[in-house]
Structure 1
């Protein structure tokens, strides 16, 4: 699984157990994200560290997933310890940062 260095998930964790939506968002799997949302998964679902699907998608550069999550009501101000915008900026995901700033 691709996670940038800003992720709160420990690198030494051999078995990452992410919630469904956070997992699919971190991989940029827009179809799976859509399925999870259609099945009633909370758009603001977080992992044990408070890291949301929006943060995962923003940090890893998945603009389409970010846009989908925002359109479904994802909390763009959620902070754990950084917002999705801050993570996108740190990861140099310029398109995502621009999109999030436009909201």
Structure 2
């Protein structure tokens, strides 16, 4: 119960301070080694997106890597364009335990993280 409360407080404050910057898609042939905050790097060959990588929006600076190929699971769907729209949610099971959606470039924090 205390843990759930603390995570709710964390989610509330993250929502206050991290909503000002929009996530944007950047299409690349290869994911760079040094990622910049607020950019979702999309790796592919031009006809098919394979992976997405970005820094965790909570500020912990951990890299998040997602599969975009529907043949493999788990798989995320990325709306094409400049502003990021990603589904389903991203839920980190270790370290910061962030749980969020990216909708129209904005982070939408989930309050039910464990």
Q: TM-score range by the shorter chain?
A: under 0.3
TM-score computed with the length of structure 2 as normaliser: 0.25
Bigger strand share: 2
Higher share of residues assigned helix: 1
